[in-house]
Chains A and B, each alone.
Chain A
């Protein structure tokens, strides 16, 4: 499989991406908590949802990296992020994100792409949905 370099010109509005599945493990939850310095007891003990839950933004990077499933990405900056947290993320879930490019535009000479996404568990229940805007680096 080829992974062409992502360019503004190559990117198509309407393009769809699907991630691999990601197993939410206690270790992943713990690593995330360490990275963002958030030691909330719900991450390892009981929560109001029955059992531990993960940080609501745990799977954000799965969505953000959707374009890497098809392209080599020369990098860029994250400009905007919208989330709706619909269901708690629990250890043992196998999560997958799906995204669709809904817009691309240039502003002040810099190219941007806008992606809508959903992240769901193995039963198809949507856990998180949202939209993000990324600025693409030109070489």
Chain B
């Protein structure tokens, strides 16, 4: 797995986006199947006002984690950070695209922290989650 180096990262650089299909089966694998759950009980989700079960918001943090790990490597697994706000529900059968753009580079204990603006967007072009993530590179 290639690791990004400081010199190879520039402000404004776009990370290779990820595309995630989210069938109910994946939500079930993530959250477990429970009655009276907006994630796995379609009738309950509708009762709570949603047209389909919701993907767990934490799934989007996992997608951002993948985006960052593939970009900065081990310095995200140890030393990474993430701050996300979930602004629109993600429903079963949605397709998310996960984006990142480098915002800052700052020195930290002899290494460089790469700060990335990240967001998830559904198949309609609506942002579902927004935030920042960072990781350390040499």
Contacts and interface: CB of A to CB of B under 8 A. Distances in A.
Given A31-B29, A53-B77, A75-B38, 10 more contacts: A32-B62, A37-B21, A38-B62, A47-B77, A57-B62, A77-B86, A83-B61, A83-B83, A84-B80, A137-B48
Interface string B24-46: 00110111000011100000000
A81 B84 contact: yes
26 contacts: A32-B30, A35-B26, A35-B59, A36-B26, A36-B30, A38-B63, A40-B69, A40-B70, A55-B62, A56-B65, A56-B76, A57-B61, A60-B58, A75-B36, A75-B38, A78-B86, A79-B85, A80-B83, A81-B83, A81-B84, A84-B81, A85-B76, A85-B81, A86-B79, A87-B78, A137-B48
**Size bin of chain A's contact surface:** 20 to 34
A88 B78 CA distance: 6
A38 B63 CA distance: 8
B53 to A, nearest CB: 12
A35 B30 contact: yes
A57 B58 contact: yes
Interface of B: 1, 20-21, 26-27, 29-31, 36-38, 48, 56-59, 61-63, 65-66, 69-70, 73-74, 76-86, 89
A22 interface: no
Contacts of B27: 35
B22 to A, nearest CB: 9
A139 to B, nearest CB: 11
B74 A77 contact: no
A78 B57 contact: yes
Contacts of B59: 35-36
B81 A83 contact: yes
A93 B37 CA distance: 29
Contacts of A40: 1, 66, 69-70
Contacts of B62: 32, 35-36, 38, 55, 57, 60
A42 B1 contact: yes
A41 B78 contact: no
A61 interface: yes
Nearest to A89: B77
Contact of B48 (A37, A41, A75, A81): A75
B85 A80 contact: yes
A112 B79 CA distance: 29
Given A48-B73, A60-B58, A85-B79, A80 B65 contact: no
